[in-house]
Structure 1
Amino acid sequence: MQGVETATAEAQTLRERKKAATADALHRAAMELAIERGLTEVTVEAIVDAAEVSRRTFSNYFANKEDALLHGERERLNRFLLALHNRPTSEPAWQAIRLSTRALFDAEGEPDPEWVAQSRLVRRHPSLTGQQLARHAAFEEDVAADLARRVGDPLRARLMAAAFTASLRVGTDIWLERRGEGSLSDQIDQMLATMGERFD
């Protein structure tokens, strides 16, 4: 019986890896085409051709080309939420935020050229910006929910989550304006340190 359970778990893991690889392939194809041609010239048909999958496969993963383009960012936000959730609940809330952020950068490194290109692409297209804002709002709610179990005050948790997402946004904007001068992780950590003075 244990062997069957192990085989089932391995099969599920393999399926999950294949699904993740397909989503990543579609995301990369969408990014490369958008950077090469401009977002308005990119079609779902061009994306599936580049990724060598069917239109039906695309629809199983993404609602539209904007959804595919923002996939990488969604995955990073989800990894942050997992890191935050796994921090000890006894840890001060703002410290948990800073350490989770640092751990994510340590694991993934500094942004690559594709991430920088995507960030600039988003800023030029309202259709992308709208979806990104909606995802960031949902992300902020998820962060607040996790912080609430630490601080015991939902209002304070929401305020801290809003301060955190504002720090990410402003830190990233400053780094992009300086054309990647210095380290993004250091820039954001500086923003978090400054903002954290209000919550110590």
Structure 2
Amino acid sequence: MSESAESGLRERKKADTRKALSDAALQLAIQEDFENVTREAIAALAGVSLRTFNNYFTGKYEALAHWQSERMRSSISELRRRPPDEPLWTSITAAVLKPLEDDDADSGPSRITAREDFVEVRKFLLSTRVRNAMSRDLFDEWVAVIAARTGTDPARDMYPRLVASVIRAVGDAAADTYAAADPPVSFGELVRSGLAQVAAGLPEPPRRRRR
């Protein structure tokens, strides 16, 4: 095996271990009160030692944040792959939905299938501890790829930063609506609808008649 192939294999194993630990943290967040979950429990569920856990994450909140960070990286990578002549919001919609589609294809133990589980996990994802543990570079990566597609300068033009902020806002609005919807609705369709409304210029909806 060549040196480059060995290096690639090592990196793949590291990525797999990091994912296993993050998936274990997510699974325990779904099943238990995450405040009481220990690093030892996460490591045991992932089938590794506490020492291995400490080699990858500084704590359980960082391990949980990695799950969300990887979803964001998946979207950013998908946006980079979209055809350059494709309408911006069409590309953004496909990119944002990519990790949701991957979730649908995933049958692993960490998959969130119940709305109650989604609501519980989202509480942690929105917590200060988890948000602080997420890479601050991810938002800047969103800004950079949007700037590249639109020919704008992220240092001088507000547009790419505004678009990245809107994407985040649509995700938050969709999650809030999904958590409260009765009867239940598809989270992916809420995201798609929200981005479509943004692309259309957020036209004012028809007023409902008062009863």
TM-score (norm 1): 0.80
Q: CA deviation at 1:104?
A: 4.0
Q: Judging by fraction of residues, say which structure has more helix.
A: 1
Partner of 1:91: 86
SS at match of 1:113: coil
Gaps of 5+ in 2: 203-211
TM-score (norm 2): 0.76
Partner of 1:183: 186
Percent of aligned positions that are identical: 29
Find the aligned partners of 1:122 and 1:107 in 2 and give their Cα distance: 18
- Note closer, same or farther for the CA distance 1:118–1:186 as it changes in structure 2 (3 Å cut): closer
Gaps of 5+ in 1: none
Alignment of 1:45-194 (within 5 A): 45-109=40-104, 112-113=111-112, 117=117, 119-123=119-123, 125=124, 129-134=127-132, 135=134, 138-153=137-152, 154-178=157-181, 181-194=184-197
The letter for the 1-side match of 2:127 is T
Partner of 2:7: 12
Range with bigger deviation, 150-159 or 128-137:
128-137
RMSD, aligned α-carbons: 2.9
Partner of 1:37: 32
Q: CA deviation at 1:85?
A: 1.3
- Note closer, same or farther for the CA distance 1:45–1:104 as it changes in structure 2 (3 Å cut): closer
Q: CA deviation at 1:17?
A: 2.6
Q: How many residues align?
A: 192
Find the aligned partners of 2:92 and 2:18 in 1 and give their Cα distance: 28
Find the aligned partners of 2:168 and 2:197 in 1 and give their Cα distance: 14
